[in-house]
Amino acid sequence: FPTARGSSGHRLFISAFMIASKVICDDTYSNKSWGIVAQGMFSLREVNQMEREMCNYLDWELTVDNPILSNFETAVRQDFAQDHRQYPNYPLTPMVSKRAARAAASTAAILAP
């Protein structure tokens, strides 16, 4: 999440958890309550900003298609079937995001001779 303000992993975790909860659950916490869940680390204004930034970064692509999720699950199951010294690095394209795939295609088109 390269455009996140500050370097706190807490911001990313709370943003991701908050958005996932809102997508998955019918009844979820308000943003004011998420500030409490975060043990007062962020004001309501910061929580709102974090949510906007994360949604904008994700291009409001808040759900994952089944084929993308299945491919990702297969890769994770293969990689974690044995103990490894390092965590694998999963490419964004085409495994995770249609937005990332579009960005990669645009970059490839620009770089093509």
Q: pLDDT tens digits, residue range 14-42?
A: 999 999 999 999 898 999 999 998 898 99
Band (44; pLDDT cuts 50, 70, 90): very high
Q: What is the pTM of this model?
A: 0.63
List phi, psi (to 5°) of 12.
Answer: -65, -45
pLDDT 10s digits, 57-110: 888 888 887 887 888 888 888 888 887 777 777 766 555 566 666 776 777 667
pLDDT 10s digits, 5-15: 555 788 888 99
Burial class (CB in 10 A: 0-12, 13-18, 19+), 14: buried
- Report which secondary-structure segment, H or E, holds 110: helix 98-111
Residue with tokens 């390092």: 86
pLDDT of residue 5: 57
How far apart CA 70 and CA 84 sit, in angstroms, is 22
| 60 dihedral zone (left: phi>0; alpha: psi -120 to 50; beta) | left
